[in-house]
Amino acid sequence: MANDVVVGFVGLGTMGGKMATNLLKAGYQVVVHDLHRQSAGHHLQAGAEWADTPRALAERSDVIFTSLPEPSDVERVSLGADGLIEGVRKGAAYFDLSTNSQSVVKKIHEAFAARGAHMLDAPVSGGPSGAASRKMAIWVGGDKAAYDRHKAVLDAMGDRPSYIGPIGTATVAKLVHNMSGYAITCALAETFTMGVKAGMDPVALWEAVRQGVVGRRLTFDGLLDQFLPGKYDPPNFALKLATKDVALATALGRELGVPMRICNLAHAEMTEACNRGWEGRDSRSVMLLQQERAGVKIAADPEHVKQAAERAKSG
């Protein structure tokens, strides 16, 4: 046995089942619950104990995890009849690994705090393969002391657990991560269909663009230079030239009859930025338009940005 910490785990689906297995492999005493007991068959054979309700699970656990499909499922399991809150121990920590809504997270956090327990949002990123191999990020928001106290348990499930900030911040990070990825996916669908319809072999096209500056750089690293510090002068690549390139690409799409809704919107944004008189600034100055619309000014301390970049390289 790794130690005397009893870990409760609710939700043994595609992701949760694999994470619970890793806890058992690490030697933890694990209590499990799922809507379908058969989902726990493998875990019970490996030494896990079964709890008939979330309440019964909480009564026996020092630290609790849930991995569930929808915010409504998390709310029901945590706050509903026979829910976790009815059996949670004072001082216990509850980590929700689901992709949740910030409002639901804060509601559950307040309810658990009133019982003298900690609730932390802890969404994960790594997919089923990451959940199985432990190559998975776990972003945690909430009480830092509770995070530190149970980090060893988090380490048993993922190779990159990290404390993000107050309650709800980890949920925001997860939603930004996922939405960014899906928006990029839609844009790439447009650009690659244009390239293939223009006569390129899709693999040859991938190999070509992979060698370019965008292909060589990690997606979010592109925010380090101008966007995060809010410094768009002097330009790394002028907005005027970038707008010309996008105009040529969207023109090719029109010639080929390829719908390019996202790319045309990008061209419209860049054209508006040029009309603001920013054509000589860095191409990413187009991002100032959205900051204006959102009522947000992003200009982080350059030294803070540098330190974050160094941490990312070392991690």
Percent of all residues in the chain with a pLDDT value above 90, rounded to a whole number: 97
- Stretches in the chain below the pLDDT threshold 70: 1-3, 315
Domain extents in the chain? 6-167, 174-314
| CB-CB contact of 66 with 90 (8 Å) | no
Fold adopted by 174-314: N-(1-d-carboxylethyl)-l-norvaline Dehydrogenase; domain 2 (1.10.1040)
Q: Of 174, 197, 231, 313, which one is the catalytic site residue?
A: 174
Length of the chain: 315
The CATH number of 6-167 is 3.40.50.720
pLDDT of residue 2: 58
Beta bridge partners of 161: 138
Q: Do domains 6-167 and 174-314 have the same CATH topology?
A: no
Cα-Cα-Cα-Cα dihedral sign, residues 238, 239, 241, 246: positive
Active site residue 231: no
What pTM was computed for the model?
A: 0.93
R_g of the chain computed on alpha carbons: 24
